[in-house]
Amino acid sequence: MQARLELSRITKRFPGVTANEDVSFSVKPGEIHALLGENGAGKSTLVKIIYGVQRADEGEIRFDGVPVAISSPREARRLGIGMVFQHFSLFEAMTVLENIALGMDDPPKQKTLEAEIRRVLSTYDLPLDPHRDVHTLSVGERQRIEIVRALLTKPKLLIMDEPTSVLTPQEVDKLFGTLRKLAREGCSILYISHKLGEIKSLCESATILRFGKVVANCDPRRETTSAMAERMIGGTLKDLSTREGRRFGAPRFSVSALSMPGDPPFGTALRDIGFDVRAGEIFGVAGVAGNGQNELVSALSGETAARGTVEIDGQPIGGLGVTGRRGLGLSVVPEERNGHAAVPAMSLADNAILSARGAKGLATGGVLRTGAAQAYAAEVISAFSVRATGPKAQASSLSGGNLQKFIMGREIKQDPKVLVVSQPTWGVDAGAAGFIRQAMIDLAAKGTAIVVISQDLDELLELCDRIAVINEGLLSKAMDVKGVSVEEIGLLMGGVHGADHGGDRLAPLPSAQPAEAIGLAHGA
């Protein structure tokens, strides 16, 4: 069978680095093909070349057996190549129909376009109302907009970049059903994901990249996830040491009746959040993006004032700001590493001062101790195997995974009483993710109470002792991870987004009905 897409010796260089080197592989018609690799392995550069965002320096691309020069995304779409990006490009205040029209090269009249959209929605069982405003949609529904926009071009090849990173388990199942239907109809799919369990379930072939080169081709259905991960990193993965049977101390971090309005126009209000985390315990908060996670981190860290009670070891800290809370043993890692957790233009040593100046004595009487800061940054770099030229390296010079390791190390090495971390391994390769998770387990073993907020359900189930779900600013009752049902968590994750506009969700929470009546408790 002639390949739908064939890459031959693709090479792409940037100043000081070769992103892709002699990359060759092919994708057959109707095949779901995985593209795997660590951060920095060259996956993103390669798909940008295929989609016309960048041009290769060397090599050849054949599409349906014909050599092609893909000079732009418009040219890629003309050939029959569609792409659904990890980060959506949508206007919140506009409707589904308007957003789809804006993303098309030559949109037809509104009535014709709406008919085409409804045909695609019906054909692929994608519940969505073309006239709903985007800001009222869940993340899974927003992804459907991008998928529909791609399908309207009737692609022969569809590229999916980390498509399940923000979906509930039920939404993942629905997406996989859509992709399998597309493949049966002859559409080839190039699928990029860090979730190797999903790769095994969905894909029938895989190309593995490391440092820009192809290091393996395999059938994921016949491989273990560990074997694929080890090929990606070029080393052996260590199993997490979870210290089974460890005992917990008294409640160290207590939150009750925490409420705050969401930032207008589309922020999520927190409503009566409550939970306790014991010394030595890891408490997980699951949820689809946009349900109050960022607001919760902001309220816990002291960045935003909120009503309610927050305590460390029984001492109220709710009236304190960020510095005051850190002085009493709270460390926080926000979701956004660039610009929030770290300043890209500053050195690693200077970034260490930002949060560790008190706990590690990096500033005295208003005077910065630059030597101590460089020594602490060097300690973090060594302990967390951060690939950097040294403490004076700019944060912007590090890959996403290495910057995340530095930020996590900067907080963990302060030995906090409480650590609140959002998306600890977001966009991080398997090796770095395992390292970060083990570091959190080791910190908990010392008595730290840890709150992990993550969209990666597998991560939470692997790490945590108890788990709760946040949805539209409400927190569910806490559940013991050992007895929890993934289906139940998935339903709670998507449970109160309007079923009236899609039919695949639970009913909205009535304003007069207590949350506890449907299993959503206000406390832990």
Say what the pLDDT of residue 523 is: 33
504 has a pLDDT exceeding 50:
no
Question: In this predicted model, which residue has the larger pLDDT, 426 or 223?
Answer: 223
Check whether residue 106 and residue 196 sit in a common domain.
yes
Q: Containing domain of residue 381, as a range? A: 340-415
Q: Pick from 381, 415, 449: which residue ends a domain? A: 415
35 has a pLDDT exceeding 80:
yes
pLDDT in tens, 43-83: 989 999 999 999 999 999 999 999 999 999 999 999 999 99
Residue 265 lies in a domain: yes
Q: Where are the alpha helices (DSSP H) in 336-427?
A: 348-356, 370-383, 400-412
Q: Pick from 393, 415, 437: which residue ends a domain? A: 415
Q: How many domains does the chain have?
A: 3
pLDDT in tens, 242-275: 656 678 999 999 999 999 998 777 778 999 999 9
Residue 334 lies in a domain: no
CA distances from 261 to 23, 267, 321 (A): 50, 8, 18
Q: Pick from 415, 449, 472: which residue ends a domain? A: 415
pTM for the model: 0.73
pLDDT in tens, 370-402: 999 999 999 999 999 898 999 999 999 887 778
Question: In this predicted model, which residue has the larger pLDDT, 215 or 336?
Answer: 215
Phi-psi region of 367 (alpha: psi -120 to 50; beta: other; left: phi over 0): beta
Say what the pLDDT of residue 515 is: 31
Residue 335 lies in a domain: no
pLDDT in tens, 409-421: 999 999 999 999 9
Say what the pLDDT of residue 495 is: 59
CA distances from 136 to 101, 118, 208, 290, 496 (A): 19, 19, 38, 11, 12
Say what the pLDDT of residue 389 is: 92
Torsion of CA 466, 471, 477, 481, to 10 degrees: -20
Check whether residue 176 and residue 220 sit in a common domain.
yes
514 has a pLDDT exceeding 50:
no
The 8 Å CB, 24+ separation contacts for 217-222 are: 217/25, 220/34, 220/196
29 has a pLDDT exceeding 80:
yes
Check whether residue 254 and residue 296 sit in a common domain.
yes
Q: What's the rounded mean pLDDT across residues 158-182?
A: 86
Check whether residue 167 and residue 215 sit in a common domain.
yes
What is the residue-averaged pLDDT of the chain?
A: 88
> What percent of the chain clears pLDDT 70, i.e. is strictly above it?
92
Question: In this predicted model, which residue has the larger pLDDT, 495 or 408?
Answer: 408
